[in-house]
Every structure is written in C-alpha cells, then in structure tokens.
Structure 1
Amino acid sequence: MSSVPPLIVTLGGAMFTFPPGKEVTVGRGEASDVRIPDAGPGAKHVVSRLHLIIRVDPGVGQWVAIDKSRNGIFANRTRVPSAVISDDLVLAVGAPDGPQLHFRTATQVIPVAKYRQPPPQTAAPRPPQPVPPSPPRPIPQQPPRPAHRPPAPPPQRSSGPPPGAATIGRHSTAAIKVEDSLASRIHAYLVPAPTGTQLYDNGSGNGTFVNGHRVEAVTLRPGDVITIGNTDLVFTGGTTVQSRQAVATGGIEVRQVGLAIDGHQLLTNVSFDARPGTLTAVIGPSGAGKSTLIRLLGGVTKPTSGQVTFDGHDVHAHYASLRSRIGMVPQDDVVHRQLTVSQALNYAAELRLPPDTSKDDRRAVVERVLAELELTQHRDKRVDKLSGGQRKRASVALELLTGPSLLILDEPTSGLDPALDRQVMQMLRRLADAGRTVLVVTHSLTYLNMCDQVLLLAPGGKTVYAGPPQAVGSAMGTQDWADIFAWVSANPDAAHAVFLQNNPAANQPPAPPEPAGPLGAPARTSTGRQMLTVARRQLQLIFADRIYTSFLLLLPFILGAMSLIVPGDTGFGVATVGHSPNEPNQLLIVANIAAVFMGIALTIRDLVGERTIFRREQAVGLSAAAYLSAKIVVYSAFTAVQTAIVVAIVVIGKGAPTQGALLLGSATLDFYVSLTVAAIISAILGLLLSSVARSSEQILPMLVVVIMLSIVFSGGMIPVTGRVGLDQASWFLPGRWGFAASASVVDLLKIAPLMSVDDQLWHHELRWWAVDIGVLLLLGAVAGFVVYRRLRLPGGTKAGAPKAAMIAVAVVLAAGFVAGMTYLTRDSGNRPTQPTAPAAPPKAAIPGQRIDLANVLPDGKAVSTVMQSPPMANATIVTAATPRGGTATPPPCASVADAGSSATFAPGFTGMSGMELHNPADPNVWMVAYAVGYPGPQAAERIPAAATWAGCANTAVTFTADGQPPRQLAIGAVTPDKGTLTAVFTEPGRSCQHVLTTKADVVIDVLTCSSGGGTQAAELAKQIADKVS
C-alpha cells in the first residue's frame, strides 16, 4: 500500500487529502470525513448520512469509491455501484446533477531520485557545505506535524531551475502541481545533490517555507514540511507528497491558552478543538474576552501561556507560513462601499494573488468566490446598495480569494434583523460544510443550533462550556440562555470551576508558549504593482462618489472666485497709497489659504475612513509604502489640477505677477509651482491628521484648527517675522512656507511696500525661493514618514529604538531645524513703510509746485513738426488737470493703454497738467502728454518703477476710456531703460508709442499714434524734459 499515492478530494471550494491507510466516509452525517451539506429544512434528502466510502482496494492497488446509499453515485451521469479512482474523475452524489466530488492522485508522489543531477556546465547550484547527519526519524502513520527546528543550512543560491530539476507550482507543466491560488506558476524546485535533496525558492511572490521558516535555498531532511501558499508538502527522503492534516486531526487546537496584560487576566486556560468542516460559535457576556480570543487565534495577539496550533503548525511560532491560511473578517465591513462587488473583488485579487497570476486566472477565482457565496447576481451592484447580509458576504468573499482553511468572524450578525441574521449563519454553515474551520463570535443566540459546537466564556476569559449546542442543557442545568448568561456573569469563577470539574483535561497546568517566530512579510506582489492597483482603485473611489467628486470640482472655482472680491485693480503690480495698497498681500493670503484648504480637505477623511479595510489588506500582503505612495500620487495630481484652476482665475481676474521669473522663465509658472507644492504638502499633512484621528467625528475640528493656524501663522495677515516663539512655531506649518514662496515670486516686499516686515524668506531671489520650496518638501517628507510609521503593521518589522529614544531624536532634530532657520533668517525684522507715493496731505499743506507745468508741455506747432502732421499746428488743444479714467482687461494694462491714466497717477502728486491734440483730417493721428509734479525726485522716480507695464508685453488688451466705446489693443514690446518705460501697441488703422519717464521732480507721460508708427512719443518726451530745470 506504500506505493499508493494519497487521495485528494475536492468538494466545492474545499480540498481534503487522505493517506492510503484511511477509509474515507462521505455523506451528510456529522461524522463524515467529507461532509456534504444538507439541502435545507423541508427539502428532500438526496445525500444519505453515509453515502459512499473511499478506500484502497488491495486487489487492484488503487483507490476505489463504493456506493452505500439509496440514491447512488453517478459517473458521466450513469449510476455506478463503485468506481476506480483516477485523476480528474468526477462523481455526482445522489443524482446526475447532485454535488460533485473531484479526485486527483497522479502528481502527489514524486520520486526525486529520478531527477538526475545536471552536468557541471549547467546553471545548477554548487554543492552545499557538508552538514552533520541528523538521526533518522520514522515516518508517522498520520500526516506529520512540522518539526520545531530550523531547516538544514542553505546551499548555494541558484538563479533558476536547472535542467532536470523537479519543479513545484500551479502551472500545468510543474512536476509537482499545487492547486493553490497563492502558489506561483513555478514556485520552487528540487535538485538532488551529494549532500541530499536541495529545495530552492524560484523568486515566488508569497515565499517558500520549511518547518514554518521562510527559506530561499535549503537542504531537506526527511520529515521536513514544505509550505507553498496554503498547501503543505512532506519530504520523506525519496519522495515529496502533498499532505493536509486528515479531517480527524486537522483544524485548530487550543491548549490552556491564557493572556495577561499589565496584570489583568483577559483569558484563562481556554482549551477546545475545531476540526475542518465545523462551525464553532464563541459566545459570552460583555467582558468575557471573545474578541480578544479570536485575535489571539488569528495570530494577531500572542498568548502568555498555552499554545494554539492549526493543521499541526504553531500559529504564533510559524505565523509567517500560516498567515495566508487564516481569513479574518472584522465586525466592520472591509470592502469599499463606493465600488461594485465585482470591482472590489477584482482589486482585492490583484493585491492578494501572486504577481504571475493572469487576468483570466484572477477572473476565474473571483467567479468561483461569487458563485460560492451566491453573489453572482449582485456582482454589478454597488456595495452600499446591498443588504446587510449581502455586504457581510462581500466581506467574506474578499477572504476566500486566497482559499483560507480557517475563517474567523467577529460579530458578523451585529445590527442585522432576524432574517438577515439567519442568512449569515446559513452562509457560515455552508462555508464550514465545504471543509473549512469556521469560528464566529456572536451575540445572537437564535441560530446556535446551526453550529457544531459552542464555546461559552465567562468574564475574565474563563471557559464555562465547550461542546454541541444541543448538550448545553445537560451541562448547565438549563437551556435558557438568559439564565445561563446571568449566572456566568454573576459567578464566573464558580461556573469555570464546574467546567473544570467536568473536563479534567482542561485543568492541566498551562504549558509555556513556544517562542513566537517573526511575523514575517505577508504574501504580496511587488510594491510597484500594488501601488498602481491602489492608485487605480483610489481614482475609481473618487469618481464613484458623485457628491465628493462634485465638491472637488467646484472647490477651486469657489476659492479662486474669492480672490476677485479683493478690492483694487493693481493685482500683483506695485500698490500705491490710497489705491488699494494691501491688494497684493490680500491676493497672496487668499491664494495660499485656498491651496492649504484644498490639500487638507482632499485627504483628511481618507485614512480614518478606511482604516479597517487597510489593516485587513495589510495583514494579507498590502505594503504600507505602496498604499501611501499611491494615495500621495493620486491626490497630488488632483491638487495640481485644482491649483491650476485657482491660479488661472487669479491671473485672469487680477493679472499675472509683474516682477519677473525666478526659475521657469515665467513668473506665473513660478507662482503656480509655489502654490501647487504648498497644496501637495498640505494634502500629506491631511493624511497625517487622518492617521491620528480615532474617528470621523474628529475630522472637522482638526480641519478648522489647522486652517485657522495656517491663516494666523502664514505671516501675511498677522506679522510673525522676528517675533520670538511665533516665528519659530510658524516654521512647522506648510502655510508659512507656501506664503513665503509665493511672496518671493511676486516680490511682495516691492509691490506692497506698506508691509511692515522685512522677511528674508520673501526676497525676490532664486536662493530664497529655493529655501522656501525646499523646506516645504522637507515638511512633506517628514509628514509622509510619520504617516508611513503609523501605517506599518505593528510588529511586522524588526524592533526599533524605544519610543522614548525616538521622541528624543525627533526633539533634537526639531531643535536643530529651528536653530538653522533662526541663523538663516537672522537679518529678518521690521522695516519702515515705503509707500510708492506719499499720502496726500491736507490741501493747505500741499507744497506749491516750483515750476509751471503747463509751460513745459509742447504747443501745437512743435507737435505738428514731430508728428509730421501740419493740420495739428492749428488744431484745438484740450487741456486737463486730473488723471484720465478708464478700465482694461487685464486690469494692470490700463496704464499702458493711455497716458495720464488714473492707474498710473494715484493721489499724492503736487501738480498736474495735461494736453490732448488730434489731427482734424486724420482720426488715426493724435497725441496725449502729461507733466505731473511730485514733492521730490525720489517720489517721481517711484512712478515708473511701480508701473505694471512689464506684465502686459505681448498681450491683447481691451481698453475702455471713460465715455468711450471699447478699443482692442495688441501690446507688443515693453522696454525699460534707465528709469524710462517705452511700450508700443497697435490698433486697427494705427500704431502707437507710449513713453513714461522722469526729470527731477516731474513725471512725463506721452502717448502718440499715427498710421505709420514711429518714435514721436520719445521725441516729445525729450522736449518736455529739456524744459524742466
């Protein structure tokens, strides 16, 4: 019989393996090795309690199925009394279309010796170092438990399967085919060598384990247990056989488990067994440690005493190899409600299954899970449109993708009505009947009769009852659960003592737990692949929420429009006293608060809202780095688009920055980059706040506080520069550096000279702008690192420095940052205000103009000579003593389109004289000239310096003079030269030149237009300047 291979029986999604000496019983009876679930109450039984047996027939030397039922077994829809088992045989039970049993035997015994060692010239590994021989171990009759020792020393690592190697994997060409969704196509391979058979991992996504330890290459010893995904292979020296624990001995075994934290005993000597194909309910009053127990059984918490084994493996010592076999379904739904069921499962399959799983294979796995949980008809429904029971099934479906054999659920019926409660319990019953071990914590006692056993815990985690629900009356003296709960709650020690008296085996002293092994890295695909999958899913989630998407689209338009209510039309030009002197500063404040608000509002609800989902995905392989990186990339793209909308509205409505580019050749682009970086870093800060929040209710207060701090500490509204404490505190907020970078781009200290501070971070120099952007990026990197640390699976990495030491390091680094910035900005401080023009004093205090401004303007003859237009010599001159009104789009270009414009000359001058002269014979020929006096040369020189002409070069402008129809101008070059500004522009039928210059304390402003163009304005301005003494 030793030559007969083990038998693999598959029923639905469950797989059972039996050794040759086992007589396998199949039926609907509780004691059946392969239990086929009942059709349901009131349905006709087509499956007998004992329907067939499967055993090795010594006469033929093969497995044989023998009918023992009334309704028979069917092969190819024909009833047969018996059938010889062969690979891929399918038997229908009870009817031609009844439950189907699938069988496999052929590939389960592989004589490794027949694979000869490859010749030396191949890529085979070099022979390993000799190792001391280990004493022989007898091969047990039952499938062996893994040895609690590390594997033999590793051989030289190979680069891939050499010729003649015995490959292991799920691919059809593998010598040892493993039907496991977590196995790679070629997962590992075996190579015979002089020192023994060598096992090599083939770069698999989920790793290869020997005796619970992850290995890359190892020399095998007889009895070693090789774990591929959820499948165990036992190496017997000359063969490798696929083996799962037999139904009678597999499943989970809990022995005297205890858990104490800070002196509080949470669990006390809990013992029970749960075999494959069984459903176990964990019940008890509040405070009984039910949730604590299932977290311990799932490997999340380590016991302080006792031991938990699953399929012969110590759950905590070998957790790395068991992680994928355990499916944990928390009380909260672990599926995104905005997605459809199919979308949620497909994204989960991409994240959980090996990277070499094809799209068709993933689809097949998803379809199988949908069918098993009866969700196929709901596949295209959004999860938030499902009933409570259907949502719970969707959460379970995510776990079934990787084929776990242990399924643990925490309060799956919480909040459900009785009908949905029954549906969920029926689902769990079917999952158990398919061969899984199912544990469920529940407060609902109505459908406990569906369970195979009940574990009742008293407060303090003390076992009160463990057995079938039908026998609780004889054990507890009553079947009234209300009385039972009342008694165990009031007398937990007495109830536990009664249990120990009736169960002496549970009263043994608890064994110390085996030293816990490393958690190990969960099975996962590559970080880049995970990042792309999470990014695609994040985009799907955003666009699936229509209200949220609408909010994201409208928000930048609303915030951008707020800049238009800032009074004034100077924009980012040089402000003047009495003419919206604070407009540039106010625009910067609005734009930067918009960037900060958009970034934080975009992400602050994200992590806290899907924390439960992420923790479960992380436990089965999702990398925290991939998860966080995907979110930062997606949200950065959104903030970049939102910021572009805000900048476009500000530039179109108020005008572009006028003081020249720092880096990108365009001041507008520099301004956009500054705001975008500030918004992205604010989004990362939002993720940090979301990771800190304990619930969604804390989000709004956090958002309000951060926005208020950003307004106050940005430095634009309330000066913080040079104020000890406030200045240093502001350096830790992105709003401070975003405002500084934007202020540097627009040269706030020049265009808003009324600012009372001289902050070096605002200087219009590339080095200071680089400092601002660099610190922003540093803050983003620090915030991202903190988020990553908070997201990492607790205990999933090597122990780091103590918490106190890490805090000390953080404090030292923060102090160093503050010290460095204090030194760097040591020259910052207050400054006297520098208005572009002095405030207009009362009339009586205005000093008299020292020259007659009207006399410096040319007469008609001089104009006609320069303009080469004789009719202008006798034309009527229109004089003026006040600025000319008019508006332009863009607004800052009004001063370019007209001479004597109110946009150029705000109140504060000491005198003004202007003239306008037209050619009566040609309306395209005319001139305007103004001479404007100021208290001194410095005040006069500030007028050309403050003009916003540079930003209007090569711009189409619509200009409307007071009382006149709009005119379309095409402004060309704008040339500054030693305090003189010269601009040229064209209109239909004429070309114009505009010159703005100074002489002593007089500002000269001349505009000339003619059909042929020319430099007449410059010539007339020179004549006027020559008359100013």
Structure 2
Amino acid sequence: RKMMFLLRKLADKGHTIVLVTHATNNINACDYVCFLAQGGRLAFFGPPNDAKTFFDKTDFAEIYSALEPTEQNKNIPVEAEQRFKASPYYQQYVRTPLEQGPAGRANVIDSTVEVKPPRRGNPMKQFRLLTMRYMELLKNDTGNLLILLLQAPIIALILFFLAAPLTFSPTSVATCPPNPQVPQTTPSKVDCQNVVNALNTPQGAQFLVQKGLTEPEEVERSIAPGSGGDAQKILFIMAFAAVMFGVINGAREIVKEEPIYRRERTVNLGIIPYMFSKITVLGVLCLLQSLVLVIFVNLRAPLHHSTLLPPVLEIYISLFLTSIAGLMTGLAISALAPNTDRATSFIPIILIPQVIFSGIIFPLNNPVLQILGAFFPSRWAMAAMGSTVGLHGDKLGGDDFSYQGTLFSTHTQAAATFHLLLMWFALLVTIVALGALTAYFLKRKDVRG
C-alpha cells in the first residue's frame, strides 16, 4: 500500500508511472488500468471504476476470471477484445487520444525531417558520477577491497626477505673477476671499476691498442657470465607482480555489473566515461601497489644506478606502467567474458605467457619469439627495469635488445635513454591498444543485448 501511494505522489508531480501488477487492493490509486487477456489482447483500458462498470463486476479480481478461456469457450480473449473495441470506452480512451496525440499526427510529419538519436549525457558529468559510485561500491565491498589492498604488501614482504642488501650494487650487477691479461688490475677485486682504472693507465692504453678494443668494450668483455642474476630475479618478480595486480584488479569489475551496464546503456550511458571511471579508481590502486613494491625492495636492497631519472623513480614509472597495462588486460577480459567465473578462468591463461615471454626463463633470441614477446607487458617491463639497474643481456643469456643501460656498458647515455623511453612508449601503446579493445568489447554488448 505504501508503495502504491508513493507512486501516486510521483505521478502527481508529473512523472509517468507504468506498473505491472496482479494485486488489486489499491488499484484505485491509478489513473488508468489496462487489462490484457491471453495472447496480449486488449480487453480494457480506462479509469479503474469504469473497468468494473464495463465488465459488470464489483471486484477487480473477478475480472481476471472473466477473461480466462474455458473448455466451453476458448475464444473468450478474442471476444473480449472485440467487445472492448466496439464500446464507447475504446473510442474515448484509446482511439481519440491516439488520433489527437503524436501518433495520430505522424502521417502529416514531413518525411524529410531527420529523427535524431537519443543524446548521450554529458561525458564529464557521467565520469564524475560513475567514479563516485564505483568508489562507494568498492568501499562497501570490504572483503574484495581488503584482498586488493593486501596483495602488494604480501608480495613486497616476500621480496624484502628474498633480496640481499647488495643485490643492486654495481659490483653485484656487473662483476669483473681478476683478469691477468689487463695490466695493473688488482687480483683481489671484483669491481669493474678496477678494470676501468687499470685501462686508464699507459699500460692499459697500450693493451687496448694491441687488442684493437675501446675501453667500454674491454670492460664489458671482462664482466663475468651470470652477473646480475639475483637482481634480474627480483626485477622479474616485481614485473610479474605488477602485471598480476593489474589483471586481478580489473578482471571482474565489468562483467559483475553487466546487467546494470546494459540497462544504463539503453538510457544514456557513454562507453568512454564508464570505462575511464574504472581505469581511474583502479589506476590509483595500481599506483599504490607499485609504490609499496618499490619502497619495500629499495629499503632492503637500495637501487644504485639509473639512466635518466633517480633510480627509485625510474623503476617506479616502469612498474606503474606495467601495472596499468595489466589492469587494461584485466578490463578487456572482464568486458569479453560472459560471467565472472569465465573471467576468473582467463587469468592464468593471461599470466602464464607473461612468464614465458618476459625473456628471463626462455631467451627471446629469434625473431618469432621477439614478435610474440612484444604483446606482453612483462617483456617491456624487464627491458626497462633491467636497463635502469645496468643488467647486461649477453651475460644473462638474453637477446641484445633486452637491456641497454650505462653501467660498464658500450651503450652511450643517449642510446640508453632512448631505449628506456622506447620501452615506456611500448607500454603506453599496449595500454592504449588494450583500452581500445575494451571499448570494442563493451560496444559489442549493445549488439548482443
């Protein structure tokens, strides 16, 4: 009863309320009632009290019984429709309003007038409202929010205890064992700076002339195979974790509210505001997760070397871009999957190739593998972060494209900077491409709906 009176108040304010009900106790609160017989046949339309008069019944419930076909007369719905159309009620409440209303004037409308499609709402206003709503939903879903927030600290703590304090020190990343062929080197030192100092002496310069090498070439040759292996492992776990965080953050966030999305799309919801409301909120989460990883690792194993920016900032940018690429992968999955279970099952299928094509476990030393690796963010993340800390790909079984840093390297500062920026650009291209793919999958829901 309260619901009916609430709807009555809304109608009194100028709203149009259409209610489908079989409860007849408060039907007098309506302006009009419409009775449909079996097969969708119109048996009556008009004020509630006129319905009782038309059917000659004292109770609305009796009208339902009067419209049901019986064994003796199965044509009751057809006869009821014909009877109504022949009554003055049909002329008064159906035919005349239709002829005088927009439908009746449709035949005189100029056929050249362009019918404009429904306008979408203001994109910025939609974006703000959707973002606020999504934040509220996340805040209320405490269980899911807690899982998302605890991911990074747990992995960061594991890395904190795994990493050795000198993992990223120059002597660990590039180890040069004593080389008796190089004059003036100190036999007990493994610091590559020792080789550099020896090659800067007259005897060292003469040695380089005899060998036909430059100083950076000889230093790079002196680096022991496997140097920087521990640093590479820590960086790989960080890169994989960043991708994983992003994918998990986004994999369920569209598909779980698909009915709401479809309903709002029929009104005025825009795809871009909807998509960016997800990216903004979850992007902040990725930002925080990447920050936690970098802080914990840097506290345990300080980052010493970089190419363009301070080491911590450079690694942080690479991780954040990687996490956003993972997020866009997750949102693409969520927009494609028909239900949350299917979306969850996609996650391992996406994450396992991140391991294979990162270039760490299996070297990407042929063109086919390198082309395939280009589709996975972990490949670009490792190339960027490995170059930052000064890893040497040839010493770790990688391809020449993997790492191009400046730590005891033949690469110039300009070449190393270009390589780093290129890796960041590749991650940005991946993000944009996955965003376009997500928008396409969302648009397809309109067709399937």
Contact 1:687-1:787 within 8 A present in 2 as well: yes
What's the counterpart of residue 692 of structure 1? 336
Quick one: which of 594, 598, 616 aligns to 2:245? Answer: 598
Instruction: Indicate how the Cα distance of structure 1 residues 446 and 558 shifts in structure 2: closer, same or farther if over 3 A, else same.
Output: farther
Report SS of the residue matched to 1:758: coil
Instruction: Indicate how the Cα distance of structure 1 residues 567 and 734 shifts in structure 2: closer, same or farther if over 3 A, else same.
Output: closer
Task: For 1:44-443, list aligned pairs within 5 A.
Answer: 422-442=1-21
Instruction: Indicate how the Cα distance of structure 1 residues 457 and 557 shifts in structure 2: closer, same or farther if over 3 A, else same.
Output: farther
Listed as ranges, the gaps of 5+ residues in structure 1 are 1-421, 796-801, 803-1029
Report SS of the residue matched to 1:440: coil
> What is the Cα deviation at residue 543 of structure 1?
3.8
Task: For 1:855-870, list aligned pairs within 5 A.
Answer: none
Instruction: Indicate how the Cα distance of structure 1 residues 552 and 472 shifts in structure 2: closer, same or farther if over 3 A, else same.
Output: same
> What is the Cα deviation at residue 789 of structure 1?
4.7
| Structure holding more helix per residue | 2
What's the counterpart of residue 243 of structure 1? none
Q: For 1:920-967, what per-residue CA distance to the aligned partner results, in whole angstroms no more than 9, with x for missing partners?
A: xxxxxxxxxxxxxxxxxxxxxxxxxxxxxxxxxxxxxxxxxxxxxxxx
Is 1:667 the counterpart of 2:300? The answer is no
> What is the Cα deviation at residue 645 of structure 1?
0.8
Q: For 1:300-334, what per-residue CA distance to the aligned partner results, in whole angstroms no more than 9, with x for missing partners?
A: xxxxxxxxxxxxxxxxxxxxxxxxxxxxxxxxxxx
Q: For 1:630-654, what per-residue CA distance to the aligned partner results, in whole angstroms no more than 9, with x for missing partners?
A: 4433332331221011011122223
In the aligned structure 2, how far is the partner of 1:438 from the partner of 1:568?
A: 69
Contact 2:44-2:84 within 8 A present in 1 as well: no
| Greater relative contact order (CA < 8 Å, ≥ 6 in sequence) | 2
What's the counterpart of residue 731 of structure 1? 374
Contact 2:37-2:68 within 8 A present in 1 as well: no
> What is the Cα deviation at residue 624 of structure 1?
3.8
Contact 1:455-1:466 within 8 A present in 2 as well: yes
> What is the Cα deviation at residue 446 of structure 1?
6.0
Instruction: Indicate how the Cα distance of structure 1 residues 783 and 424 shifts in structure 2: closer, same or farther if over 3 A, else same.
Output: farther
What's the counterpart of residue 559 of structure 1? 155
In the aligned structure 1, how far is the partner of 2:64 from the partner of 2:35?
A: 16
In the aligned structure 1, how far is the partner of 2:77 from the partner of 2:433?
A: 52
Contact 1:619-1:793 within 8 A present in 2 as well: no
Is 1:740 the counterpart of 2:338? The answer is no
Is 1:550 the counterpart of 2:146? The answer is yes
Q: State the AA in 2 paired with 1:779.
A: T
What's the counterpart of residue 196 of structure 2? none
Contact 1:473-1:479 within 8 A present in 2 as well: no
What's the counterpart of residue 517 of structure 1? 115
Instruction: Indicate how the Cα distance of structure 1 residues 650 and 523 shifts in structure 2: closer, same or farther if over 3 A, else same.
Output: closer
Is 1:780 the counterpart of 2:431? The answer is yes
Q: State the AA in 2 paired with 1:768.
A: H
Contact 2:55-2:63 within 8 A present in 1 as well: no
Report SS of the residue matched to 2:384: helix
In the aligned structure 2, how far is the partner of 1:749 from the partner of 1:649?
A: 25
Instruction: Indicate how the Cα distance of structure 1 residues 686 and 441 shifts in structure 2: closer, same or farther if over 3 A, else same.
Output: farther
Report SS of the residue matched to 2:34: strand
In the aligned structure 1, how far is the partner of 2:68 from the partner of 2:346?
A: 43
Contact 1:425-1:447 within 8 A present in 2 as well: no
Instruction: Indicate how the Cα distance of structure 1 residues 767 and 579 shifts in structure 2: closer, same or farther if over 3 A, else same.
Output: closer
Q: State the AA in 2 paired with 1:571.
A: T
Q: State the AA in 1 paired with 2:360.
A: G
Quick one: which of 73, 76, 82 aligns to 1:501? Answer: 82
What's the counterpart of residue 714 of structure 1? 358
> What is the Cα deviation at residue 625 of structure 1?
3.3
Report SS of the residue matched to 1:436: coil
In the aligned structure 1, how far is the partner of 2:316 from the partner of 2:11?
A: 59
| Structure holding more strand per residue | 1
In the aligned structure 2, how far is the partner of 1:615 from the partner of 1:449?
A: 31
What's the counterpart of residue 683 of structure 1? 327
Worse-superposed segment, 738-747 or 785-794: 785-794
Contact 1:566-1:586 within 8 A present in 2 as well: no
Quick one: which of 366, 389, 403 aligns to 1:762? Answer: 403
Instruction: Indicate how the Cα distance of structure 1 residues 449 and 673 shifts in structure 2: closer, same or farther if over 3 A, else same.
Output: same
Q: State the AA in 1 paired with 2:374.
A: W
RMSD over equivalenced CA pairs, Å:
4.4
Is 1:454 the counterpart of 2:9? The answer is no
Q: State the AA in 2 paired with 1:449.
A: I
Quick one: which of 280, 293, 315 aligns to 1:633? Answer: 280
Q: Which has the larger radius of gyration?
A: 1
> What is the Cα deviation at residue 674 of structure 1?
0.6
Contact 1:662-1:766 within 8 A present in 2 as well: yes
Q: For 1:236-266, what per-residue CA distance to the aligned partner results, in whole angstroms no more than 9, with x for missing partners?
A: xxxxxxxxxxxxxxxxxxxxxxxxxxxxxxx
In the aligned structure 2, how far is the partner of 1:545 from the partner of 1:455?
A: 43
Q: For 1:839-871, what per-residue CA distance to the aligned partner results, in whole angstroms no more than 9, with x for missing partners?
A: xxxxxxxxxxxxxxxxxxxxxxxxxxxxxxxxx
Aligned residues: 361
Q: State the AA in 2 paired with 1:501.
A: Q
Q: State the AA in 1 paired with 2:34.
A: V
> What is the Cα deviation at residue 484 of structure 1?
8.2
Q: For 1:541-577, what per-residue CA distance to the aligned partner results, in whole angstroms no more than 9, with x for missing partners?
A: 4444443443333221112123245476652333778
Report SS of the residue matched to 2:17: strand
In the aligned structure 1, how far is the partner of 2:155 from the partner of 2:276?
A: 27
Q: State the AA in 1 paired with 2:297.
A: V
What's the counterpart of residue 584 of structure 1? 231
Report SS of the residue matched to 1:689: helix
In the aligned structure 2, how far is the partner of 1:431 from the partner of 1:494?
A: 39
> What is the Cα deviation at residue 437 of structure 1?
2.6
What's the counterpart of residue 771 of structure 1? 422
Q: State the AA in 2 paired with 1:760.
A: F
Quick one: which of 231, 246, 255 aligns to 1:608? Answer: 255
Q: State the AA in 1 paired with 2:418.
A: R
Contact 2:119-2:268 within 8 A present in 1 as well: yes
Contact 2:318-2:424 within 8 A present in 1 as well: yes
Instruction: Indicate how the Cα distance of structure 1 residues 775 and 483 shifts in structure 2: closer, same or farther if over 3 A, else same.
Output: farther
What's the counterpart of residue 178 of structure 2? none
Contact 1:639-1:676 within 8 A present in 2 as well: yes
In the aligned structure 1, how far is the partner of 2:377 from the partner of 2:139?
A: 28
